Structure 1
């Protein structure tokens, strides 16, 4: 798989590969920190390709999703993270851990090239295709993951989180101490690689196929774990954000 996409590397050489030292050597410490707070159970890790490029596409419930993915994924993963998280004291740590900042409000070629470089070199990228923390039901899937899959041919592995946010809590809250967290890795989806230039129709078709696959895998994950998702996050004013809209 890496050979089939290595020709793209010349297109992204202007963007440095995200740092990797902390990504590889800090995972055990992050895992220990998360385990102090939560009881994490992993399901389906054998479905994750052991080598070559891979895209982890995860539902998004709360602030703990990124750390859990970074700590417990079967492979070190460069996670696409909103640029606002890189402002302040957390920024240097995220950069050192190889995470990729994304401007969610404007076209961000730098983030795309960083992802392409990581995948072209046979590594893993993590993305939250819903774009924001919410109820995690994958009602909306943005085209970014589909575009990267089209551009590289990398398999997309669904990641389904349960328990990373309690029902009725805000999107930036963490679950209570001792909370059970389940992480389910779904069946990989391979989208046929499309050469540049890729059309909007191609991207939209791939997005729709990926969306349907993610929904099927979410349904399977609910049956496997016997768990449900927490519903919409609480707004700052005490009502659900869904009701507030």
Structure 2
């Protein structure tokens, strides 16, 4: 834990990868959110490998995307969440449930914690667009590619639809009983390209994942009939989450 002043909220920090047992109650809570608070249709669970390390890479529309994905998946996962969410009651919940705080401006330690989770054969969830938006994966950071290349984990693209619709503001929390859609796509294996530099290999891997995720989101929207939201043209109060 760190505190920079008497009135500054305490931020919870990891000193090692979160243990597997902490996720044992986060998925049941996610399922309550999916199927009691909201009405969530889950498609493509058979695309999720039943064993071995998996990176779930999802689009980002709303605050709810992470917990909705956790509840929809057939495997437990540790989700990478913006570091300044780890304060107060919410921070204690995130910390206790094994989520990984990450500073999106650059956080090597968070990536190493996620890599350690994958190396023991577990799963990590990440929202690689980095900020809530239209959720079309037009842009994404290189975190997924770095983890995939350095851990050997399989990447499963995830389309989350309905957590924000129309012209709703990025800070909107949808009303209970809304219909949500979670669609897991075909798993993809990312490998280093021979004969190219590490930076080029990383850039190509990032673009390969982005294209795969974008195509999956577009197909999921067409199949489910749930459109992506319009850009609200407002800067979020919590840019980056």
Same fold, TM-score > 0.5, yes or no: yes
- Secondary structure of the structure 2 residue equivalent to 1:89: helix
Q: Residues 84-131 of structure 1, C-alpha deviation per residue, up to 9 Å, x if partnerless?
A: 1102221111011110000112x3121011011000000000111100
Give the match for residue 209 of structure 1. Answer: 208
Give the match for residue 65 of structure 1. Answer: 65
- Secondary structure of the structure 2 residue equivalent to 1:215: helix
- 2:85 and 2:233 map into 1 onto residues whose CA distance is 20
Give the match for residue 50 of structure 2. Answer: 50
| Structural mapping, 1:56-135, within 5 Å | 56-105=56-105, 107-135=106-134
How much has 1:15 moved relative to structure 2?
A: 5.3
User: Size of the alignment, in residue pairs?
Assistant: 222
How much has 1:194 moved relative to structure 2?
A: 7.1
Tell me, yes or no, if the aligned pair for 2:69 and 2:160 is still in contact at 8 Å.
Answer: no
Tell me, yes or no, if the aligned pair for 1:53 and 1:155 is still in contact at 8 Å.
Answer: yes
- 2:233 and 2:212 map into 1 onto residues whose CA distance is 28
**TM-score between both structures, scaled by the size of structure 1:** 0.84
How much has 1:34 moved relative to structure 2?
A: 3.9
| Structural mapping, 1:1-245, within 5 Å | 16-105=16-105, 107-193=106-192, 199-233=198-232, 235=234
- 1:65 and 1:78 map into 2 onto residues whose CA distance is 13
Tell me, yes or no, if the aligned pair for 1:118 and 1:125 is still in contact at 8 Å.
Answer: yes
**TM-score between both structures, scaled by the size of structure 2:** 0.85
Tell me, yes or no, if the aligned pair for 1:20 and 1:96 is still in contact at 8 Å.
Answer: no
How much has 1:140 moved relative to structure 2?
A: 0.2
Q: Residues 145-192 of structure 1, C-alpha deviation per residue, up to 9 Å, x if partnerless?
A: 011111122111001011011322222222122210000001111111
Change (3 A) 1:54 1:193: farther
- 1:95 and 1:71 map into 2 onto residues whose CA distance is 17
- 1:26 and 1:109 map into 2 onto residues whose CA distance is 25
Give the match for residue 6 of structure 1. Answer: none
How much has 1:234 moved relative to structure 2?
A: 6.0
Task: State the superposition RMSD in angstroms.
Answer: 2.2
The gaps in structure 2 that reach 5 residues or longer are: 1-13
Q: Residues 4-23 of structure 1, C-alpha deviation per residue, up to 9 Å, x if partnerless?
A: xxxxxxxxxx9523033341
